[in-house]
Chains A and B, each alone.
Chain A
Amino acid sequence: MAVGNKTLQDLLGPISKQMGHTAVAENVELPEWEHVPWRCTDGMNQQQLVDKFIEEAGKIGITIVRTPAADIAKAVAGIIQEGVPEAPASCTVVAANDERFAAAGLYDTVSGLGNVSELTVWDNTKGQANVDAAEKATYGITYAVGGIADTATIVQPSGPNCGRTTSLLPLVHIALVDAATIKPIMQDVMKDIEAQGGQLPSSICFISGPSATADIELVRVQGVHGPMYIYYVLVD
């Protein structure tokens, strides 16, 4: 829908005119790009990509926990049990609604932890209550759809079972990511998204570390508006 005081034609007219175009082209093909930049992940096998991912994560304040798929509940429980300095003695948790979590018994394990008073599993029939839970939560748990080795980035789309705020409002974000989904660079992830086609998620967030700022005297501080800590649970 277009509303407001001006139309698309009002915007395009002067642009086309300045370009000397009488009409906007029907179709423009992308050219073959001449320059193909070398990237540090070129030629790496999957094992090397995972190693690179771990190495880069270490540089930007991300804690990595590796685990076999069967033990993800244990791995996540370990993180919460160990806790972070700012966590209250009794804390709440919000988690994405994910079959793999259920299958691994993660919800039961987490809600049974001594320092967890409440676990909210994302439920889109409950509307705003999910966001309220995320706002109060110390821990937010999500399952990323992929990773990028070059920058230790995880790919986190929004959807009915995992909101934008699940990974944003809690003090700590625990993101699970399958080692097999780690790609060399962002371009590879984008290629996959383009190949899938169809309606894109309303938001895809590429997350690389805790929220941070250096606005005061260039001193780096972790934990501004997003999570102060981030854990990647790397699932083999």
Chain B
Amino acid sequence: MNVLYHNDVTLRERVAECLQDDFKHKAIETAQEVFYAKRGALVEEMGEGWQELRLRATEIRNHVTENLDYYVKLFAENAEANGYIMHYAPTDQDALADVIDIFEKHQAQTTVKSKSMMTEEVGLNEVLEEAGYTVVETDCAECILQKAESKPSHIVVPALHFDRDAICDIFTEKCGYEGTSVPEELTHFLRRYLRPEFLNADIGIRGCNFAVAATGSPTLITNEGNGRMVDSVPKVQIIFVGIDRIVPDLQSLDVMEALVPRSAVGSKMTAYFSVDSGPAHADEVDGPVEAHIILMDNGRSRILKTEFEPMFRCMRCGACLNICPVYRHITGHGYGSIYPGPMGVVMTPNLVGYDEIDTMVFACSLCGACSDHCPATIPLHDLIRAHRIEIVDEGKNHSNEVPVFKLLRKMWSDVGFYKFAMSAGGPMMRLFADSSKGALTVNSTWMPVVKGWTSTRDFDVLSKDRFRTWFKNHKPLAAETPVQENQGTEGGDA
């Protein structure tokens, strides 16, 4: 089974299930509203600076991507000079093999993890658990999901689909919790419950938000402090770094940090931002004695020099999810990928190919809100459409839809045929229409193709007369005011 994309059920089945789950659906809607409002206030406060900041981030990330092999090498060499033990993973299997080697070498038994999408991508937890190791997720939401054996519905707040009572039940059943369902009490319970796990773990596993090439420094953004705990307490540490996480220098981090928390959750800064440069020095008493970096490609480099290359700018902030009107309704579970929402729709097929992903790239109305909100100005909706074009070009589209598109091509490129189709189609549609509404209604859900629409909305029928006929025969109105050319400014105002 593919761990990145779960193709055990179809997209349609998943979507149906998500749409039925009213609580989940409402929880994501609320999250969107909250993040959207908070982000909006901060963006407004920055005025023109916001757009400049996005463009600077775009410049920085593009520069790295255009010189990616150089920067990957620079980061690797400088990280190694800092004392990191480097592991190079062209594929997920390479990464997993190296992690297992580290566990075996240390005869480790338990590991504490802070949230890392890369470890999700390779299915690390499952592999470690199968090998007999105990994996403890320490992010509040990830911990809830792990105890409930559930999957993230959001990449920033992954357990929104459970309400406080459900979480209370989970903690009571799985962790011996005896308190109420007040979020503060539940959270403070987790503080006490997980503290010994951090102190006793053999290995800490974490991700990396940005990797600084010039100084060989992986960085970590965290609010709860679990990332810092993983980074500070266990004596052995494993850091997953994607080749798409690199920034050139420390100063670049300022731009990224100004964008990510604002875009992700609508705050100016997270509680913690750690810039690490190697294991603990000999004269330090805490921090990892041994620190490993797994530098992983896993299909990322395939998009270099293609139109999908802008995805190398993605900072995994979730801004595109927080604004997406589709994500809003189908939630993270609707997509079937560990990377949901617009960024996921672009990234998932990049990583796993078109054969695996069902109709995922078609679950988008191309509204462009994601591209508008992306802090790295990735034209996400254009890339989603680019996937559709590639799918058709590669002949991986559903063959049963081709006749419909052929008919549309014929009708739109042959005026004679179009006029014929209108004169024949109009009366036919009116025959089946609800005459009081002049529309095909719920009674037309038996009609092929049209049922897609009429299952949820009415469809106005073709008019009796064409606009073009009226236009040809009409007598132009007299001007009320004489026309003066180009009195205003040109073009749109945005």
Contacting B at CB under 8 A, from A205-231, are 205-219, 221, 223-227
C-alpha spacing A7/B80, complex, angstroms: 13
Binds A, one of B43-51, B328-336, B420-428, B484-492: B43-51
C-alpha spacing A33/B228, complex, angstroms: 32
Chain A residues, CB < 8 A from B325: none
Map CB proximity to A onto B197-216 as digits: 1 under 8 Å, 0 otherwise: 01100000000000000110
Is the beta-carbon distance between B277 and A215 smaller than 8 angstroms? no
What residue of chain A has the Cβ atom nearest to residue B66's Cβ? A19
Q: Contacts A35-B55, A191-B251, A226-B225 known; A218 to B31 CB distance under 8 Å? A: yes
Binds A, one of B133-141, B316-324, B386-394: B133-141
CB distance from B285 to the nearest CB of A (A): 5
C-alpha spacing A226/B68, complex, angstroms: 36
- Across the interface, A164 reaches (CB within 8 A) one of B159, B194, B232, B249, namely B232
C-alpha spacing A207/B76, complex, angstroms: 27
Is the beta-carbon distance between A163 and B191 smaller than 8 angstroms? no
Q: Does chain B have a CB within 8 A of A89?
A: no
C-alpha spacing A130/B72, complex, angstroms: 37
C-alpha spacing A172/B233, complex, angstroms: 18
Q: Which one of A12, A14, A56 has the greatest number of beta carbons of chain B within 10 Å? A: A12
Q: Contacts A15-B69, A18-B305, A226-B228 known; A36 to B269 CB distance under 8 Å? A: no
Is the beta-carbon distance between B52 and A160 smaller than 8 angstroms? no
C-alpha spacing A40/B285, complex, angstroms: 39
CB distance from B208 to the nearest CB of A (A): 13
Binds A, one of B294-302, B439-447, B450-458: B294-302
Q: Contacts A38-B49, A40-B45, A208-B270 known; A5 to B281 CB distance under 8 Å? A: no
Interface residues of chain A: helix, strand, loop or mixed (majority): loop
- Across the interface, B85 reaches (CB within 8 A) one of A1, A25, A28, namely A1
Q: Contacts A15-B72, A202-B278, A223-B188 known; A164 to B286 CB distance under 8 Å? A: yes
Q: Contacts A18-B302, A28-B70, A215-B157 known; A209 to B271 CB distance under 8 Å? A: yes
Q: Does chain A have a CB within 8 A of B417?
A: no
What residue of chain A has the Cβ atom nearest to residue B221's Cβ? A206
Is the beta-carbon distance between B94 and A201 smaller than 8 angstroms? no
Map CB proximity to B onto A1-42 as digits: 1 under 8 Å, 0 otherwise: 111111110111011101111001100101101111111100
CB distance from B307 to the nearest CB of A (A): 14
Binds A, one of B56-64, B348-356, B363-371, B430-438: B56-64
Contacting A at CB under 8 A, from B64-78, are 67-73, 76
Is the beta-carbon distance between B224 and A14 smaller than 8 angstroms? no
Is the beta-carbon distance between A159 and B284 smaller than 8 angstroms? yes
Is the beta-carbon distance between B271 and A211 smaller than 8 angstroms? yes
Interface residues of chain B: helix, strand, loop or mixed (majority): helix
C-alpha spacing A150/B46, complex, angstroms: 11
What residue of chain B has the Cβ atom nearest to residue A190's Cβ? B250
CB distance from B228 to the nearest CB of A (A): 6
CB distance from A183 to the nearest CB of B (A): 11
Q: Does chain A have a CB within 8 A of B163?
A: yes
Q: Contacts A37-B49, A38-B48 known; A194 to B251 CB distance under 8 Å? A: yes
Map CB proximity to B onto A60-92 as digits: 1 under 8 Å, 0 otherwise: 100000000000000000000000000000000
Chain A residues, CB < 8 A from B184: 219, 221
CB distance from A54 to the nearest CB of B (A): 15
Contacting B at CB under 8 A, from A155-183, are 158-160, 163-165, 168
Q: Does chain B have a CB within 8 A of A113?
A: no
- Across the interface, B223 reaches (CB within 8 A) one of A33, A203, A205, A211, namely A211
What residue of chain A has the Cβ atom nearest to residue B294's Cβ? A4
Is the beta-carbon distance between A200 and B277 smaller than 8 angstroms? yes
Is the beta-carbon distance between A211 and B59 smaller than 8 angstroms? no
C-alpha spacing A2/B243, complex, angstroms: 17
Is the beta-carbon distance between B232 and A165 smaller than 8 angstroms? yes
- Across the interface, A34 reaches (CB within 8 A) one of B47, B59, B101, B284, namely B59
Is the beta-carbon distance between A225 and B277 smaller than 8 angstroms? no
Chain A residues, CB < 8 A from B195: 135, 225
What are 9 A-B interface contacts by the 8 Å CB criterion? Answer: A2-B87, A4-B88, A37-B49, A37-B56, A164-B287, A200-B275, A200-B277, A202-B277, A216-B164
Residues of chain B whose beta carbon lies under 8 Å from any beta carbon of chain A: 27, 30-31, 34, 45-50, 52-53, 55-56, 59-60, 63, 67-73, 76, 80, 82, 85-90, 94, 97-98, 101, 138-141, 144, 157-160, 163-164, 167, 183-184, 186-188, 190-191, 194-195, 198-199, 214-215, 217, 223-226, 228-229, 231-233, 243, 248-251, 253-255, 257-258, 265, 267-281, 283-287, 295, 297, 301-302, 304-305
Instruction: In the A-B complex, list the 4 residue pairs whose CB atoms are closest, starting with the nearest.
Output: A226-B225, A211-B225, A38-B49, A187-B254
